[in-house]
């Protein structure tokens, strides 16, 4: 079995204590640090911008997994590379020339990802699947942490896994939104590789232990 990863989402952290929150993640079994950038246009919320990503990057020792929930993401590809992003994921719904955007992300030395809103079928990625390093299947409507997991996600993960296998692609499937110990195992069984978790980790009384348990559950 390919390795399974846990990616704490910094959106659920205490922003007044970002440095210690990042150090907690550094000291844990987490594999990636998920960083949600929202522009208030593509999604009905604004999270944080470049200065905060730079501050996160300064302390982070994990793979920095940036999820752009912004319109016209092409404008900022270079900037996010300079800020230390290892993975850069754009939304399918925000890109007119997705193939070009993916190539531009790779040209900056980052892993290129595509995120799909809950209503967007995975079949739309068939013709670019070999160009995608990670697909984020949104299991909530993007914009906010702490929402409930959408059950239809399991079906989408199974369908996407089938597409990846058919095309002999090495694309990772990442799940984002409402992930807890109640759905983690089933998501992995359906073909997921990376689980993003915000509230479940950062609101726990012992986040390091919660990450460790989640990792054990899916490994
Ligand atoms: C939602 C973000 C998620 C969010 C997940 O738009 O993309 O990464 O932080 O948070 P939880 O795990 O609390 O649903
Ligand atoms: Zn996200």
Q: Give the neighbor-by-neighbor strand order of the sheet with 5-8.
A: 5-8, 194-197, 172-176, 134-138, 111-116, 87-91, 63-69, 32-38
Find tokens 């950038």 and name the residue: 37
Q: Containing domain of residue 17, as a range? A: 5-218
> Each residue of 164-192: pLDDT tens digit?
999 999 999 999 999 999 999 999 999 99
Please work out whether the CB of residue 215 comes within 6 Å of at least one atom of ligand 1: no
Domain count, the chain: 1
CB 6 within 8 A of CB 197: yes
Both tokens of 176, joined, read 């984002």
Give mean pLDDT, residues 61-68: 99
Residue 136 β-bridge partners: 115, 174
Q: Which residues surround ligand 2, an ion (CB under 5 A)?
A: 36, 67, 176
CB 52 within 8 A of CB 22: no
CB 21 within 8 A of CB 202: yes
> Each residue of 91-116: pLDDT tens digit?
999 999 999 999 999 999 999 999 99
pTM of the shown model: 0.98
Question: Which pLDDT belongs to residue 114?
Answer: 99
Task: Count the helices and strands in the chain (H runs, E runs).
Answer: 8, 8
Confidence of residue 201 (pLDDT cuts 50, 70, 90): very high
ipTM of the complex: 0.99
Distance CA 216, CA 218 (A): 6
CB 195 within 8 A of CB 7: yes
Average pLDDT, the chain: 98
Q: Ligand 1 atom closest to Cα of 34?
A: 8
Tell whether the model's pLDDT for residue 54 goes beyond 80.
yes
Question: Which pLDDT belongs to residue 1?
Answer: 75
Both tokens of 26, joined, read 């550094």
> Each residue of 1-36: pLDDT tens digit?
789 999 999 999 999 999 999 999 999 999 999 999
Please work out whether the CB of residue 6 comes within 6 Å of at least one atom of ligand 1: no
Question: Which pLDDT belongs to residue 197?
Answer: 98
Q: What is the CATH number of the domain that holds 82?
A: 3.20.20.70
Q: In terms of Cα–Cα distance, which of 14, 12, 8, 11 is closest to 26? A: 8
Active site residue 176: yes
- Is 85 annotated as a binding-site member? no
Confidence of residue 74 (pLDDT cuts 50, 70, 90): very high
């Amino acid at each position: 079995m390919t390795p399974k990863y846990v990616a704490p989402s910094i959106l659920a952290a205490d922003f007044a204590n970002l440095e210690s929150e990042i150090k907690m993640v550094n000291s844990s079994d987490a594999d990636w640090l998920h960083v949600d950038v929202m522009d208030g246009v593509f999604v009905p919320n604004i999270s944080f911008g470049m200065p905060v990503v730079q501050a996160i990057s300064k302390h982070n020792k994990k793979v920095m997994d940036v999820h752009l929930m912004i319109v016209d993401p092409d404008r900022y590809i270079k900037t996010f590379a300079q800020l230390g992003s290892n993975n850069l994921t754009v939304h399918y719904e925000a890109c007119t020339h997705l193939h070009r955007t993916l190539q531009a992300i790779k040209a900056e030395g980052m892993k290129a990802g595509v995120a799909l809103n809950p209503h967007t079928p995975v079949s739309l990625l068939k013709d670019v699947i070999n160009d995608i390093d990670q697909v984020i299947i949104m299991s909530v409507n993007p914009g906010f942490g702490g929402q409930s997991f959408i059950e239809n996600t399991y079906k989408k993960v199974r369908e996407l896994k089938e597409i990846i296998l058919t095309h002999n692609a090495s694309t990772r499937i990442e799940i984002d939104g409402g992930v807890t110990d109640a759905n983690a195992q089933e998501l992995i069984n359906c073909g997921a590789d990376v689980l993003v978790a915000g509230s479940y980790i950062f609101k726990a009384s012992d986040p390091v232990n919660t990450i460790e348990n989640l990792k054990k559950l899916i490994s």
